[in-house]
């Protein structure tokens, strides 16, 4: 049965909501200024497992059985690799937005599509259009201008964008569904994350767990809940995104993905008063120009596909 216009609308709404949640994420982490990034990451991984299991059960789905996991060891190994790649990207992101570097996070996700395009050419045999080629060139010019002006690479942005693109490439070869693969990724890292939290607590180095049993009257429950909440806060957009993929086109999702870094940019400049100098303005402008060219190039093809779908729906309905 072809996609109905209602299903497409639902998919677009789910995708927009996912990127809106991602875009608002710095507001949550602003409640944890200067947080211990290692501990925060460990909490996010540990509590991702029960949260994902709850979501899977509520949707009436099931995780792959042990036999299915053994039959597809390659996908399990790729889930492990994906988990490590995502850890690096999320670690950079969490550090940035808890240490007054939301602009770096915005830049990271603006350059992510450029990394994704380059990886598609290198590993998937994709062919670049003129607009995509120009976008990649402009992106490198934007980064190069920053390097020449500041004398150093924008490491945070490159780690975020680069490793998230590698994560997306890795997911292309995993044969489990989206929810299952995300759950497996968290499960593979959970023993390490949980062991790290236990070690922090046992050596009295934990920020969130310090005094949990010995000094319960003065224990900061709000801080603990905020640390635990990083799991659903980072996974909810991913779940809405996974639901959207089956309901709308990848082209539409690609166009809407700029909601997230655009919101990060606006929050950084207008709300968090981060310094936005001429160097950043030129670099962002070069990258934005490249992304705009790609978006404008994709619009005619997107409109044609939508017209074809409408025609299919008309034919389908007339045949009833």
One-character DSSP codes across 91-142? HHHHHHHHTT-HHHHHHHHHHHHHHHHHHHHHHS-----HHHHHHHHHHHHH
Of 205, 261, 197, 187, the closest CA to residue 227 belongs to: 197
Is there a contact between 181 and 174 (Cβ–Cβ < 8 Å)? yes
Percent of the chain with pLDDT over 70: 84
Give mean pLDDT, residues 81-102.
Answer: 91
Query: pLDDT for 20-59, tens place per residue?
Result: 998 999 999 888 887 889 999 999 999 999 999 998 898 8
More confident residue, 53 or 9: 53
Checking if the pLDDT of 146 tops 70, the result is: yes
More confident residue, 312 or 226: 226
Lowest mean pLDDT among 12-16, 163-167, 240-244, 248-252: 248-252
C-alpha dist (Å) from residue 185 to 182, 188, 256: 5, 5, 26
More confident residue, 77 or 147: 77
Query: Measured between alpha carbons, how far is 247 from 259 in angstroms, rounded to an integer?
Result: 19
- Calculate the CA 190 to chain-centre distance: 19
Query: Measured between alpha carbons, how far is 118 from 115 in angstroms, rounded to an integer?
Result: 5
Checking if the pLDDT of 189 tops 90, the result is: yes
Fill in the DSSP letter of residue 239.
H
Give mean pLDDT, residues 98-125.
Answer: 84
Q: Specify the long-range contacts of residues 220-227, CB closer than 8 Å, at least 24 apart.
A: 223/32, 226/28, 226/31, 226/32, 227/32, 227/35, 227/39, 227/40, 227/43
Residue 38: CB atoms within 10 A of its CB come to: 16
Query: Measured between alpha carbons, how far is 278 from 272 in angstroms, rounded to an integer?
Result: 18
Checking if the pLDDT of 89 tops 50, the result is: yes
pLDDT of residue 71: 94
- Calculate the CA 238 to chain-centre distance: 7
Checking if the pLDDT of 314 tops 80, the result is: no
pLDDT band at 2; cut points 50, 70, 90: very low
Q: Where are the domains of the chain?
A: 5-206+227-314
The encoded tokens of residue 66 equal 């042990």
| DSSP alpha helix (H) spans, the chain | 5-29, 37-58, 66-71, 73-98, 102-123, 130-150, 155-171, 178-202, 221-228, 230-245, 250-256, 259-266, 278-318
Checking if the pLDDT of 317 tops 60, the result is: no
The encoded tokens of residue 82 equal 């994906």
The encoded tokens of residue 292 equal 């705009």
The encoded tokens of residue 154 equal 């924008």
More confident residue, 230 or 258: 230
């Amino acid at each position: 049965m072809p996609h109905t216009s209602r299903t497409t609308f639902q998919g677009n709404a789910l995708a927009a909501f996912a990127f809106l949640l991602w875009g608002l994420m710095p507001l949550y982490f602003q409640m944890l200024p200067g947080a211990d990034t290692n501990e925060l990451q460990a909490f996010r991984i540990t509590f991702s497992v029960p949260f994902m299991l709850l979501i899977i059960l509520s949707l009436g789905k099931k995780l792959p059985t042990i036999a299915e996991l053994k039959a597809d060891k390659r996908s399990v190994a790729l889930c492990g690799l994906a988990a490590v790649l995502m850890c690096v990207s999320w670690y950079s992101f969490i550090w940035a937005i808890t240490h007054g570097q939301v602009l770096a996070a915005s830049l990271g996700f603006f350059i992510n599509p450029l990394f994704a395009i380059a990886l598609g050419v290198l590993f998937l045999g994709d062919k670049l259009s003129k607009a995509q080629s120009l976008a990649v060139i402009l992106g490198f010019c934007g980064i190069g201008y920053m390097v020449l002006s500041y004398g150093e690479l924008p490491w945070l942005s490159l780690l975020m964008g680069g490793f998230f693109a590698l994560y997306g490439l890795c997911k292309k070869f995993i044969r489990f569904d989206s929810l299952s693969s995300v759950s497996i990724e968290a499960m593979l890292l959970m023993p390490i994350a949980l062991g790290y939290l236990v070690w922090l607590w046992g050596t009295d180095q934990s920020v969130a767990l310090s005094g949990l049993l010995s000094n319960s009257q003065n224990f900061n429950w709000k801080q603990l809940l905020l640390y635990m909440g990083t799991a659903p806060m980072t996974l909810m957009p991913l779940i809405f995104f996974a639901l959207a993929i089956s309901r709308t086109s990848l082209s539409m999702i690609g166009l809407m993905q700029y909601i997230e870094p655009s919101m990060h940019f606006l929050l950084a400049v207008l709300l968090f008063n981060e310094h936005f100098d001429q160097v950043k303005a030129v670099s962002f402008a070069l990258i934005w120009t490249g992304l705009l060219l790609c978006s404008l190039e994709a619009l005619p093809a997107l409109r044609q596909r939508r017209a074809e779908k409408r025609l299919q729906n008309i034919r389908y309905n007339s045949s009833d």
